[in-house]
Structure 1
Amino acid sequence: MTNKQGYILLTDTGTLFTRLIKVFTKKPYNHASLSFDDKLNEVYSFGRKSVRNPFRGGFVKENMQSKLFRRSKCAIYSFEITDEQISEMKQFIQSIEAEREQYSYNFIGLFGFIINKPINRKNKYFCSQFVATVLSESNIFVFEKSPSLIAPNDFEQLCTSKKVYEGNLYDYLIEAIEESVRVA
C-alpha cells in the first residue's frame, strides 16, 4: 500500500463575498479546496458557480487558471493518504459530482458557523465543511468538532499536514508548469 499526497488549498480571492467572510474569521484565507495533485489540476470545493454571482453556489471543480484565482493568495498543505483513502475520497466526490444539481451552497450553515451552532442540511455544504466532510468520511482526519464548524484556517492546525507553499497562487502554478517542462 503506497502512500500518496492529498492537498488542501486555502485561498483569498479578494472578492466582496470573501472579504465579508474575513470580517468574521479574521484570518488571511477564507476558502478551502481539495486537490489530488500538486499541480492543482483536479481541485474540488463548494463555492460560486458563476464568477459574477456569489449567491449561486454549489459543488465546483475549480479552474485555478481562471480570472477569479489568478490574483489569489494561497497556502497549500499536503497530507499523506493511502491508495484506499484516495479511492474513498474520489468515490465520495464523484458521487456528489454525478448528482451535482442536487447539491447547493450552505449559506444558512455559514450563519450557524458564526454563532457556533452546527447547521447541517442535506446536500448542502460550504467550502470548509465540504473539505472536512470528505477528509472525515475517508478516515483521513478526525475532527473535534462538526464539519459545519470547521473554518478554512482550521486546516492549518492539522498536525499531519505540511505547508508546501504560501504566496501568490499564479506564481505557484507558473512554477509548477516550469517544473513539469524541466522534468519532461
Structure 2
Amino acid sequence: MKDIYLLLTKSDTFISKAIYLVTQDSYTHISISFEENLQPMYSCARKYTYSPIPAGIRNESFEKGFYNKNQHIPCALYKLTVKKEIYYKAKFILESILNHSQDYKYNLMGLILCKLEVPYRRNHYYFCSEFVSEILAYSQAIELPKLPCLMKPSDYLLFEELECLYQGNIRELIKYRGLC
C-alpha cells in the first residue's frame, strides 16, 4: 500500500476570499503530493507569488513562493491509502500532465460554473480541485460523487477513505511534520 497526500488551504488572496464569499467553504484550495514530506506538491494555481495571473499547473513549495510568505493560512492535511498500482497510475497521470504543463491554463469559467453545479470541461484547463479530482478519478484512487469539474476542495472533507493527519496553519504544519 502507498499513500497520496492532499493539502487543503484557505488563504487571504482575492480569489480565495471571493470563493469563500460565494461558497462559505472551510477550504478554498487543494494540492496533491505523492511524498510524505509533501515535496513536490502540485496544484493548478497562481504561477507567481504576488500575482493571481497567469495561473496553471505548478509545484507548490513551503520553502519559497506563496506558502513561504503566507504561513498563517489555515490548512488540513489528508492521507489516502491506495494499492501500489493505483498510486503509480495516479503518479503517471500527474507526470503526463507535468510533461506538458506549459499547455495547461486556469479554468476560471469552470470554477464559476462549479458553484452553480454546471459541468464545464475544457481540454488543458483546470481549477485546483478539478485538477486533483481528475488525477484521483482517472487512476481509480477514489470514487467521486460527481464529475471532477464539479468537485470543490471542501468536498474532500466528506470522504471516509481520507485520514486527517493535521488541521491548523501552514507554519505549524511545517513544524509538526518537519517539512523544511
TM-score, reference length from structure 1: 0.91
Q: What residue in structure 2 maps to residue 85 of structure 1? A: 86
Give the distance between the partners of 1:169 and 1:51, measured in 2 at CA. 16
Deviation larger for 66-75 or 44-53? 66-75
Q: What residue in structure 2 maps to residue 50 of structure 1? A: 48
Matches within 5 A, 1:19-98: 19-66=17-64, 68-69=66-67, 70-98=71-99
Matches within 5 A, 1:1-184: 3-66=1-64, 68-69=66-67, 70-177=71-178
- Judge conservation of contact 1:13–1:68 (CA < 8 Å) in 2: no
What one-letter code is carried by the residue in structure 2 that aligns with 1:80? T
Structure 1 residue 105 displacement after superposition: 0.6
What one-letter code is carried by the residue in structure 1 that aligns with 2:42? Y
Structure 1 residue 172 displacement after superposition: 1.3
Structure 1 residue 82 displacement after superposition: 1.6
Give the distance between the partners of 1:42 and 1:82, measured in 2 at CA. 21
Give the distance between the partners of 1:104 and 1:94, measured in 2 at CA. 16
Give the distance between the partners of 2:102 and 2:92, measured in 1 at CA. 17
Structure 1 residue 66 displacement after superposition: 3.1
Q: Find the residue that maps to 1:28 and give its secondary structure.
A: coil
Unaligned 5+ segments in structure 1 are: none
Structure 1 residue 71 displacement after superposition: 2.3
Question: Judging changes above 3 Å, is the alpha-carbon distance between structure 1 residues 41 and 168 closer, same or farther for their aligned structure 2 residues?
Answer: same
**Per-residue deviation, residues 131-180 of structure 1 (Å, max 9, x unmatched):** 110000111111121111100000111111111100011211122228x9
**Per-residue deviation, residues 7-63 of structure 1 (Å, max 9, x unmatched):** 111011211211111111201210001111232112111000012221311101111
Give the distance between the partners of 1:123 and 1:50, measured in 2 at CA. 19
Give the distance between the partners of 1:157 and 1:50, measured in 2 at CA. 31
- RMSD over aligned CA atoms reads 1.5
Q: Find the residue that maps to 2:178 and give its secondary structure.
A: helix
Q: Find the residue that maps to 2:112 and give its secondary structure.
A: helix
Unaligned 5+ segments in structure 2 are: none
- Judge conservation of contact 1:39–1:173 (CA < 8 Å) in 2: no
**Per-residue deviation, residues 75-119 of structure 1 (Å, max 9, x unmatched):** 011111121111111111111111111101101101211221010
Aligned residues: 177
Q: Find the residue that maps to 1:56 and give its secondary structure.
A: strand
- Judge conservation of contact 2:120–2:149 (CA < 8 Å) in 1: yes
The structure 1 segments of at least 4 consecutive aligned residues displaced by more than 6 Å after TM superposition are none
What one-letter code is carried by the residue in structure 2 that aligns with 1:18? S
What one-letter code is carried by the residue in structure 2 that aligns with 1:123? H
- Judge conservation of contact 1:27–1:153 (CA < 8 Å) in 2: yes
- Judge conservation of contact 2:72–2:169 (CA < 8 Å) in 1: yes
